[in-house]
Amino acid sequence: MKTTFSVLFYPRGNDMDNEGEAPVYARITVNGKRSEFSIKRKVLRTKWNASAGKMKGNSSKVRELNAYMDKIRYKIYQIHENLMDRNDPITADLIKNIFLGKSDKDKMLLKIFQDHNDKIAALVGKDYAPGTVERYCTAKKHVEEYIKKEYKVEDIPIKKVDHAFIDGFEYYLKTERDCSHNTAVKYITNFKKIVRIAFANDWIQKDPFLHWKGRLKIVDREFLTESEIQQMLEKEINNARLDQVKDIFLFSCFTGLAYSDVKKLSNDNLVLGIDGENWIKIKRSKTDTRSNIPILPSAQAIIDKYAEHPAILNGDRILPVLSNQKMNAYLKEIADLCGINKNLTFHLARHTFATTVTLTNGVSIESVSKMLGHKSLKTTQHYAKILDRKVSDDMKMLRKRLNFNS
């Protein structure tokens, strides 16, 4: 891409002093974008030659000032030429800062990333959810580890990030970190925001993500069938802690609430709905969207069961929820006890609510979307596709059975 570049000097008239003298400014223009600075000299505007960009006359004072501006122009042109020779990004601000001795051409990637994370952390509860901050912190950690492994340094200039860096980072996530395709794409998308910040601030001249296409793959999410839910409901577990985790997991199966929302569920979230029945009304931690969910009898029974639990009596929470890590660890044991051959995680309960509990039983996709707190119906439609695939698989089995006479 051809770069347009120019330097001119002019007296700033709106800063004129009582004697009619105005400060002289140098203006650098690169590709239509300007950056200016004072050269710390003043002139009478009547003595200024606007077309030539210098003082009129031939006095020693005029010659000295014009020579001084020529030196500044020469140094600026040298800076521009050096940047071109190194094939560095060129902006008006960059040239000005190099001339003034405060170059920001070496803006560092991880420093920019950390500044971004600090800012969004300060806006938790206003513009961002805690989970969003956590994802950006994890993304930054992965970028930091990739730089150490691949470049053998603690940080790199943002201008060094190119398409090869992005491809290498994606490969690192999928191999060294064993991330799935979708998880890798999400981390790279977080990283992409940091690069876009640099691009918007002219710290880089070209967006390295211009030709990167990060498409998520559609993944079939596991969920419990009606018979598996019934197995869990009927299974008597003598271990109190395991029984508690089983109940809270089932509560999520009957409400569709994610772990973070079940954990923060309080009495304030229990309201009387327009139908005279008990409802849960809560803002989702992840998206800050509102979920309105009628409480099914099975879910209400679990709330009632733990109403006198010591952890509940001492606070405003409704259920005694353990850490997500502990819940998921105990769910592996519960799956074995219940004879369920699936990788039980707490989030699988949310998928179960969307599929087995609601859509399979004729609840409209619009209602399911509203209860799940999805921002877009497209997100909910994925569950309908899962059910379509289940119908297709079942019908294939039926075809095989009906072919026994053929």
- Tell me the CATH number at 273: 1.10.443.10
Looking at the fold, whether 374 and 234 belong to one and the same domain comes out as yes
Last residue of a domain, one of 81, 99, 117: 99
Q: What is the pLDDT of residue 359?
A: 85
Looking at the fold, whether 233 and 373 belong to one and the same domain comes out as yes
Asked, for residue 206, whether it belongs to a domain, the answer is: no
Q: What is the pLDDT of residue 203?
A: 83
Asked, for residue 104, whether it belongs to a domain, the answer is: no
Composition of the chain by helix, strand, coil, percent to 5: 55, 15, 30
Looking at the fold, whether 156 and 301 belong to one and the same domain comes out as no
Q: What is the pLDDT of residue 131?
A: 80
Looking at the fold, whether 389 and 342 belong to one and the same domain comes out as yes
Predicted TM-score (pTM) of the model is 0.57
Q: What is the pLDDT of residue 405?
A: 52
- Return per-residue pLDDT of the chain as tens, 406 residues: 567 899 999 999 887 888 889 999 999 999 999 999 999 999 998 899 998 899 999 999 999 999 999 999 999 999 999 888 877 778 898 899 888 876 555 689 999 999 999 999 999 878 887 888 999 999 999 999 999 999 988 999 998 899 999 999 999 999 999 999 999 999 999 999 999 999 888 788 789 998 888 887 766 678 899 999 999 999 999 999 999 999 999 999 999 998 989 998 998 999 988 888 889 998 877 666 788 899 999 999 999 999 888 888 877 889 999 998 999 999 999 999 999 999 899 989 999 998 889 888 888 888 888 888 887 777 777 777 666 666 676 677 778 777 755 4
Looking at the fold, whether 321 and 354 belong to one and the same domain comes out as yes
Asked, for residue 62, whether it belongs to a domain, the answer is: yes
d(CA 43, CA 12): 10
Nearest to 92 by CA among 39, 157, 27, 40: 27
Looking at the fold, whether 83 and 139 belong to one and the same domain comes out as no
Do 365 and 381 form a contact (C-beta atoms < 8 A)? yes
Q: Read out DSSP for 127-144?
A: TB-HHHHHHHHHHHHHHH
Under DSSP, is residue 110 helix (H, G, I), strand (E, B) or coil? Answer: helix
Looking at the fold, whether 333 and 388 belong to one and the same domain comes out as yes
Under DSSP, is residue 305 helix (H, G, I), strand (E, B) or coil? Answer: helix
Go through 171-201 and write b for each residue having 16 or more CB atoms within 10 A of its CB, e for each that does not.
Answer: ebbeeeeebeeeebbbbbebbbebbebbbee
d(CA 326, CA 332): 10
Asked, for residue 189, whether it belongs to a domain, the answer is: yes
Looking at the fold, whether 94 and 113 belong to one and the same domain comes out as no
Span between the terminal Cα atoms of the chain, in Å: 69
Do 284 and 259 form a contact (C-beta atoms < 8 A)? no
Asked, for residue 404, whether it belongs to a domain, the answer is: no
215's tokens:
């498409």
Looking at the fold, whether 150 and 230 belong to one and the same domain comes out as no
Nearest to 390 by CA among 350, 354, 366, 363: 354
Looking at the fold, whether 135 and 73 belong to one and the same domain comes out as no
373 secondary structure, DSSP code: T
Do 350 and 258 form a contact (C-beta atoms < 8 A)? yes
If one counts the domains in the chain, the total is: 3
Asked, for residue 26, whether it belongs to a domain, the answer is: yes
Looking at the fold, whether 38 and 170 belong to one and the same domain comes out as no
CATH number, domain with residue 177: 1.10.150
Asked, for residue 213, whether it belongs to a domain, the answer is: no
Looking at the fold, whether 88 and 132 belong to one and the same domain comes out as no
Last residue of a domain, one of 99, 117, 148: 99
Neighbours of 125 (CB within 10 A): 9
Under DSSP, is residue 397 helix (H, G, I), strand (E, B) or coil? Answer: helix
Under DSSP, is residue 197 helix (H, G, I), strand (E, B) or coil? Answer: helix
Task: Find the domain containing 232 and state its range.
Answer: 226-397
Under DSSP, is residue 356 helix (H, G, I), strand (E, B) or coil? Answer: helix
139's tokens:
């993304």
Asked, for residue 214, whether it belongs to a domain, the answer is: no
Last residue of a domain, one of 99, 117, 133: 99
